[in-house]
């Protein structure tokens, strides 16, 4: 008679085998597609193409908004830390 741990071990081996098959069968085409997209659309500052200029201006624009938002949040937190209530 087999023990419960032996049965559980056999089940885990089967699950690992099926998971490995499903990942390798679907991961390879997906990885290839993502790699191809990244390779073709790489935005380098040295390349002066319309796509790169558009991408860089878009990221620079929203980077300003993000940095401003973070500075505003940090300023409010510092202001709240410095405020001490005196209820006496």
pLDDT tens-digit readout, 28-59:
777 777 877 776 666 566 778 887 788 788 88
User: Under DSSP, is residue 45 helix (H, G, I), strand (E, B) or coil?
Assistant: coil
The tokens describing 41, both together, are 């659309």
Looking at residue 31, what is its pLDDT? 77
- Taking the C-alpha atoms of residue 54 and residue 40, their distance in angstroms, rounded to an integer, is 16
Q: Looking at the structure, tell me whether residues 36 and 1 fall in a common domain.
A: yes
Task: Look at residue 24 and tell me if it is in a domain.
Answer: yes
Query: Token pair of 77, please?
Result: 């937190």
23 shares its domain with 49: no
Question: Is 69 part of any domain?
Answer: yes
Query: Which residue range is the domain that position 27 belongs to?
Result: 1-42
pTM: 0.39
The contacts of residue 55 (CB under 8 Å, 6+ apart) are 43
What's the number of domains the chain is made of? 2
Residue 87 in any domain: the answer is no
């Amino acid at each position: 008679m087999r023990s419960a741990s032996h049965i559980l071990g056999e089940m885990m081996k089967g699950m690992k085998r099926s998971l490995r098959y499903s990942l390798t069968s679907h991961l390879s085409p997906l990885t290839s597609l993502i790699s191809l997209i990244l390779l073709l659309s790489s935005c380098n500052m040295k390349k002066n193409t319309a796509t790169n200029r558009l991408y860089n201006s878009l990221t620079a624009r929203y980077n300003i908004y993000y940095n401003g938002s973070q500075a505003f949040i940090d300023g409010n937190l510092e202001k709240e830390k410095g405020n001490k209530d005196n209820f006496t």
